[in-house]
């Protein structure tokens, strides 16, 4: 590496580390070393990019300190030929489920290829001028958060076109949580494609290793050329405050921590905060008036929710904005008591799981991943009995998961 570039790397590394420590996100107690993401460890991967044509799967979470990785690498002379954009787009300004078009990024002049529009996987032409693909998206550790699906499609494209993929790993804020039923593959969908629990307890680097090891790539014969740059000073039990919101509706740390438990409400006839500035932290319906005193009114919010369920109607229900998420950390369980409570108190139970009425149009079987959950809730099956029905699949998964762990 040339002297000038080496000096620039060192300076940028110091700036990144200073910025990282300054905002205190992702740090452990004072005596411990700060968590350092894969992207921040330039010395580990910059030499591997030298002389190569690089594509990056990126969004607003793809950062080093306070700078976007694309901007930082471009300034360091890395040849970035294109950026692949996931759901919500490269700049993160597109609402959930809205298709994204290809464009040229006005800030960098780099071609932005959408993988959430006309196609969801790079074509042979897209990969022709690429030597190595970088993947650096913040994940939240939940099966129905679609980044891991996009990752496997990228890995498939790399295998098909004989290209390398490098993952710059990031902490999973819900890594402590391994819970929920294993996806029954007859309910495979765009929000669940692999036989893993609702909350899988892996970083994306670990998940990629699992996808290869368990044979989840399309071509099981060819080897995927994978490199993972691990997070430094990290383990799965560490709290991690995300420095950037991972998507428009996961806009607070509270929402991120509640997401494994509250996202299942997308398959019910309840609003779960879409159409507010605090999604995934409130749950309600106009039909619960007189049962709950807390209320809120969903509205159309550009980039977050254009037409939320119960738009412009006062909803009554649960306010979880101040719920102590340490209770979830201590229990190491997804909270299913909220969905049981709201079903039991709903005056029109026949509507509760009616997917035709839900804005998301997801059946609860698709969201949760198994066929019996709906009937268990409707029949008043105790929570512990519901949890027992997730076995032995969940225990078997926890044992299998150990083979792919990068962190203590």
Contacts of residue 51, Cβ cutoff 8 Å, sequence gap at least 6: none
Q: What CATH number did the domain enclosing 18 receive? A: 3.40.50.12170
The helix, strand and coil proportions of the chain, stated in percent and rounded to the nearest 5, come to 35, 15, 50
> How many distinct structural domains can be found in the chain?
2
**Residue 398: how many other CB atoms lie within 10 Å:** 13
Residue 22 lies in domain: 3-229
Distance, in Å, from the CA atom of 45 to the CA atom of 52, rounded to the nearest integer, reads 12
The DSSP letter of residue 70 is H
| CA 104 to chain CA mean position, Å | 25
- Kindly state whether residues 185 and 109 are assigned to the same domain: yes
Distance, in Å, from the CA atom of 335 to the CA atom of 316, rounded to the nearest integer, reads 20
* Sheet with 315-319, side-by-side order of all strands: 282-285, 315-319, 295-296
Contacts of residue 138, Cβ cutoff 8 Å, sequence gap at least 6: 59, 61, 62, 170, 242, 244, 246
The answer to whether the beta carbons of residues 227 and 167 sit under 8 Å apart is yes
Residue for token pair 């209320």:
295
- Kindly state whether residues 342 and 284 are assigned to the same domain: yes
- Kindly state whether residues 23 and 99 are assigned to the same domain: yes
In a domain, 245, yes or no: no
Instruction: Report mean pLDDT in 10-residue bins for the chain, 408 residues.
Output: 44 37 41 90 97 96 94 95 79 57 80 86 96 98 94 97 98 98 96 97 98 96 96 97 94 98 95 97 98 98 92 98 97 98 97 76 89 98 98 98 96
| CA 15 to chain CA mean position, Å | 27
- Kindly state whether residues 116 and 225 are assigned to the same domain: yes
* Burial readout 274-311 (b: 16 or more C-beta within 10 A, e: otherwise): bbbebbbbbbbbebbeeebeeebebeebeebbeebbbb
- Kindly state whether residues 210 and 258 are assigned to the same domain: no
- Kindly state whether residues 283 and 220 are assigned to the same domain: no
């Amino acid at each position: 590496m040339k002297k000038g570039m080496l000096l620039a790397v060192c300076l940028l590394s110091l700036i990144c580390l200073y910025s990282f420590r300054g905002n205190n996100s992702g740090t452990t107690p004072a005596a411990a070393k700060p968590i350092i993401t894969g992207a921040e460890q330039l010395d580990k991967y910059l030499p591997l990019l030298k002389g190569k044509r690089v594509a990056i799967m990126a969004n607003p979470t793809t950062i080093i300190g306070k700078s976007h990785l694309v901007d930082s690498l471009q300034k360091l002379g890395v040849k970035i030929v294109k950026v692949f954009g996931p759901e919500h787009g490269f700049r993160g300004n597109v609402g959930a489920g809205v298709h994204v078009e290809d464009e040229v990024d006005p800030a960098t002049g780099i071609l932005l290829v959408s993988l959430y529009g006309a196609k969801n996987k790079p074509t042979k032409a897209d990969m022709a001028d690429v030597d190595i693909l970088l993947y650096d998206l913040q994940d939240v550790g939940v099966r129905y958060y679609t980044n891991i699906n996009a990752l496997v499609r990228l890995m498939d494209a790399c295998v098909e076109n004989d290209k390398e993929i490098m993952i710059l790993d990031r902490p999973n804020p819900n890594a402590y949580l391994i819970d929920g039923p294993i996806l029954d593959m007859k309910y495979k969908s765009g929000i669940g494609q692999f036989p893993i629990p609702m909350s899988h307890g892996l970083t994306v680097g670990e998940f990629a290793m699992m996808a290869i090891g368990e044979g989840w790539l399309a071509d099981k014969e060819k080897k995927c050329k994978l490199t993972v740059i691990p997070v430094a000073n990290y383990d799965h039990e560490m709290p991690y405050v995300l420095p950037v919101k991972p998507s428009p509706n996961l806009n607070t740390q509270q929402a991120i921590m509640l997401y494994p438990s509250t996202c299942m409400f997308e398959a019910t006839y309840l609003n779960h905060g879409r159409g507010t500035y605090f999604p995934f932290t409130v749950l309600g319906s106009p039909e619960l008036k007189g049962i709950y005193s807390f209320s809120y009114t969903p509205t159309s919010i550009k980039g977050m929710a254009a037409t939320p369920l119960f738009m412009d109607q006062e909803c009554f229900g649960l306010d979880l904005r101040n719920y102590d998420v340490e209770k979830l950390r201590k229990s190491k369980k997804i909270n299913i008591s909220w969905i049981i409570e709201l079903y039991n108190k709903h005056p029109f139970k026949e509507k509760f799981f009616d997917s035709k009425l839900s804005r998301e149009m997801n059946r609860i079987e698709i969201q949760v991943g198994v066929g019996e959950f709906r009937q268990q809730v409707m029949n008043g099956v105790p929570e512990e009995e519901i949890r027992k029905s997730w076995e032995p699949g969940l225990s078997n998964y926890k044992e299998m998961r150990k083979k792919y762990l990068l962190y203590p």
